Structure 1
Amino acid sequence: MFFVRTAGEQDLEKVRALLRETWHATYDHIYGADKVSELHASWHSLASLKARLAKKNAEFLVADDGKTIGGMGYAAMSTEMTKTVELNMLYVGPRYQRQGVGRDIFAELETCFPDAEVMRLEVEPQNEPAIAFYTAHGFVEVGRTENCGNAQSGIPALIFEKPLENH
C-alpha cells in the first residue's frame, strides 16, 4: 500500500532511480536509450530535483510504501500564465502502474493549488498510456509544442489542460 506524501531531500536518490527506470521503459522505443539517458542526466540530476524541492508555489510528492518510492509527481504554479498550475512530472514505476498510484498522486496534486483554475501539462505524442490516463482524468488537448520541457529541447509534445474545480 502506497501513501502519498511530500518529498524530502532524503527521497531524491530513490526518485532519480524511479525516473531512470520509468523513462527508459517509456521512451527508449521512441528516442533510443542513449537519448533517454542524456535527457535523464540533464532533467533529473540531483541538483535539478533539489531545485524543484526548494521551489516556492510548487508541490513535490512521492508515493511511498515504507521501503519503495513507487511514483512521484511535481507541479508548480505557472510563472507565465495566471491561475495556471503546470503538472511537470507524474511518473509511476513500471511494476506499480495500473494500481492507482498515479491516480492517488494526481488527486493530491489537484488539491494543492487552491488559487489555480487550470492544470496544464505536456505529454509525448507517442506516449499513449499517459494520454489515456490524462484523458480519463478530464484533460483535453489544447495545442502542441516542438520544445517539451525547455525552449531548446527539440522534443515535440501535446499540450493538455483541465479546469480545476476547487473554486
Structure 2
Amino acid sequence: MFVRTAGDRDLAAIRALLVETWHATYDAIYGAERVTEITDAWHSIASLKARLAKPNSEFLVADDGQRIGGMAFAEALDGGVVMLKQLYVQPGLQGRGIGGMLLDEIIESFPEARAIRLEVEEKNTRAIAFYQANGFVQTGRTDNCGSAQSAIPALVYERPLAA
C-alpha cells in the first residue's frame, strides 16, 4: 500500500470502505439500522466530495493499485491543532501498518501543528489501543462525536507534535 491524496475517482471506493468498516465496528454497539443511518448521512458521496475541496485539510487514501485499503481526513483548527476526523482501514487489512502510514502522512501534512486531536467511541477498543500505541492520551469526552447533534458519546484523545 502507498498513501496518496484522495481524488474524485476514489469516492465510491472510500464510501464502500467506510460503510464496511462502520458496520464491522459499530453494528454490535449501535445496531445495523443506526449504523446505516449514520453512514448514509456522514459518508455520502456528496459529503465526501465536499471534503476534497475543504481548505486547510488533507484527505488521504492507502492504495495498492487494485483497491483502497484505508483512508484518513484531517483539518487544521485555530491554535495549531489538527483534528483527525477520520482514519479507517478495511477490516481485512487491519493490523498491517496501514493506519500508521496514514497517521504519519496526516501529521507530515501539517508541519506547523502543535498537536493532533481526535474523538473515538469508547467501546471501540481496537481504535483506542491503536491511538494509545501511537502516543495519544485521553484529554476529555464529548456527548456528540462527529457532529453537534449526533448523540454519540466519545473520548477525546490528543498527541503533542514537535512544531
Matches within 5 A, 1:18-57: 18-57=17-56
Runs (4 or more) in structure 1 with deviation over 3 Å come to none
- Shift of residue 39 of structure 1? 0.1
C-alpha distance in 2, partners of 1:92/1:150? 22
CA offsets, 1:30-78, max 9 Å, x none? 0000000000000001111011111011000000000100000000012
Report how far residue 5 of structure 1 moved: 0.3
User: 2:9 corresponds to which residue?
Assistant: 10
Aligned positions of 1:1-167 closer than 5 A:
2-78=1-77, 81-165=78-162, 167=163
What value does the CA root-mean-square deviation take over the aligned residues?
0.6
SS of equivalent residue, structure 1 residue 39? helix
Aligned-partner Cα distance in 2 for 1:164–1:43: 28
Unaligned stretches of 5+ in structure 2? Answer: none
SS in 2 for 1:51: helix
Q: How many residues align?
A: 163
TM-score, scaled to structure 1: 0.96
CA distance in 1, matches of 2:104, 2:34: 31
Secondary structure of the structure 1 residue equivalent to 2:4 = strand
Among the aligned pairs, what percent are the same residue? 59
Matched residue SS, 1:74: strand
Work out the CA distance in 1 between the residues paired with 2:158 and 2:143: 17
How far apart are residue 106 of structure 1 and its match?
0.6
Q: TM-score, normalised on structure 2? A: 0.99
Amino acid of the structure 2 residue aligned with 1:87: L
Deviations 1:134-153 (A, max 9, x none): 00000000000000011110
Gaps of 5+ in 1: none
**Separation of aligned partners in 2, 1:52 and 1:16:** 13
Cα shift at 1:82: 1.1
